[in-house]
Structure 1
C-alpha cells in the first residue's frame, strides 16, 4: 500500500474557493460518495476567525455553483457543524478512476486541502499523480509504503491510537503550549536543560502557575497513555508479543 499526504489546490472545489476568500477552515468528520449521482456527501466542522467571518464563509459556500446542498446542524460562536453535498471534482474523479481511496480525514484552509490518499500499487499511484497534474496544483508532502503487517497493526490498534488522540484533545491551550515548550526546551531531559523558572519566564507567570499547568497536562496525557497501553496488551497483536 502506498499512502500519500498531499497538499491539494482544486480549482473546482467549493471549500477551497471559500477558504480563498474568507478566513474559515473545514475539517471532515464523515464522508460518503454516491456512485450513481457522482456526488460527495460530507459532514464537516467549520471554524472562522470570528463569528461574522464564519457567517460570510457559510453564505459563500452555500451559493457556490458546485454546492448542491448545504445544511447547518449547529453553530456556536465562530464554529459550525454542517452537512454538504457537492458534485464530483476533477481530482476526486482521477483518484477514483485509478482505484485510489481516502485513508484519513481531509482538512481545508487558506485555499488548499490536505488529502490522505492510498493506492495498492506504486505504478498506479504514479499514473494518478500524472493525471492529477493536468488540472490541479498539488504537492506530495509525504509518501509511505506500508507492508501488509503494518496495515493490520494499524487496524488492530486503532482503539489505542484513538485513546492517545483524545488525550491530546483533553489538553487546554495553556496546557498544550506549556508541555510543548517544556519538551522543546529540554525540561524533561536528564539532566534538565530548562527549569520551572525558565518556563515561567517564557510564559510570564509564576513558578507555581507553570508547575500546575505542567502537572495538569501530564496527568491528562499519562492517563490516556496507560489506557492505550492496556488496549495494546489486550489486542491480538499485543497478546502474541
Structure 2
C-alpha cells in the first residue's frame, strides 16, 4: 500500500476545466461525488467573490444538469448537480482507486490524496494518460504497513480483499468470492478478516493496540 499526493491538470475541453480557468479566483471544493451509468453527481462548495456568476456559467454548459442550490452567500454557494461528463469520476471508477474527500479544483488543477495498492496506482496512471489528464506526483510515501499489526495470513487476506474491490462501494466481490480466491472456507475467511479489521481499527484509531512484538498466528 502507498499513499500519493497528485496534482492533476483537467483538459480545457472538459467543462469543469474550462469553468475553473475562466474563474481562476474560484475554488470548487468537491465534498462528495459518485457516478452511475455514465452520469456523475457532485455535491460541491463554490468559493468565489461572485458565486452567482460562476453558477450562471455552470448552468450554461450542456453537460451540466439539475443544478440545485442549497445555500448561497456573498462569497460561497453549496450546490448539487448532475453531469454526463464526469471525467474524473470515470477514471476513479475504472481503476477502483478511492480519493480522499473533499478535494479542490482551482484554475484547472486538482489536488488528490489517495491510498491504494501499487497495481491500482499504476492503473490510475495509465487511465490518466489515456484521458489526456496531465498529472504530477507531488509525494509518495509508504502507508502504515499492515505487517506491523497483522500476521502474514491476515495481511494476505486484507490485501486480496482490497485488490478484488471487497471494500469498494458498491462491493467488487462478495465474501464468498474472496474466500474462493484465497482457497479458504467462507467461515475461515470471515474469521481472519474480522480479526484483521479489529487490529487495523485499533491501530489507526489510537485505541487499545495489540500488545505483541511479533504477530500471533491467525
1:93 aligns with: 90
- Structure with a larger share of its residues in helix: 1
Following the alignment from structure 1 to structure 2, what is the Cα–Cα distance between the partners of residues 80 and 9?
24
1:142 aligns with: 139
Following the alignment from structure 1 to structure 2, what is the Cα–Cα distance between the partners of residues 145 and 112?
25
Q: Return the offset for 1:93.
A: 2.4
Report whether the alignment pairs 1:73 with 2:73. Answer: no
Report whether the alignment pairs 1:58 with 2:58. Answer: no
1:26 aligns with: 28
Q: Return the offset for 1:129.
A: 0.5
Report whether the alignment pairs 1:123 with 2:119. Answer: yes
Report whether the alignment pairs 1:38 with 2:35. Answer: no
Q: Return the offset for 1:83.
A: 0.8
TM-score by length of 1: 0.56
Contact 1:6–1:140 (CA under 8 A) maintained in structure 2 = yes
Q: Return the offset for 1:20.
A: 0.3
Q: Return the offset for 1:38.
A: 2.1
Number of aligned positions between the proteins = 158
1:14 aligns with: 15
Contact 2:5–2:111 (CA under 8 A) maintained in structure 1 = yes
Of 194, 203, 208, 1:236 maps to: 208
Q: Return the offset for 1:125.
A: 1.4
Q: 1:178-231 CA deviation, whole Å, 9 max, x = no partner?
A: xxxxxxxxxxxxxxxxxxxxxxxxxxxxxxxxxxxxxxxxxxxxxxxxxxxxxx
TM-score by length of 2: 0.62
Q: Structure 2 regions of 5+ residues with no counterpart?
A: 150-196, 213-218
Bigger radius of gyration, 1 or 2?
1
Q: Return the offset for 1:154.
A: 9.1
Following the alignment from structure 2 to structure 1, what is the Cα–Cα distance between the partners of residues 45 and 88?
22
Following the alignment from structure 1 to structure 2, what is the Cα–Cα distance between the partners of residues 83 and 67?
10
Contact 2:34–2:89 (CA under 8 A) maintained in structure 1 = no
1:4 aligns with: 4
Contact 1:3–1:119 (CA under 8 A) maintained in structure 2 = yes
Contact 1:105–1:116 (CA under 8 A) maintained in structure 2 = no
Q: Summarize the Cα distance change of 1:64–1:97 in structure 2 as closer, same or farther, 3 Å threshold.
A: same
Q: 1:56-75 CA deviation, whole Å, 9 max, x = no partner?
A: 11111122232123111111
Contact 1:28–1:107 (CA under 8 A) maintained in structure 2 = yes
1:47 aligns with: 47
Q: Summarize the Cα distance change of 1:64–1:130 in structure 2 as closer, same or farther, 3 Å threshold.
A: same
Contact 1:15–1:26 (CA under 8 A) maintained in structure 2 = no
Q: Return the offset for 1:2.
A: 2.5
Structure 1 ranges of 4+ moved more than 6 A: none
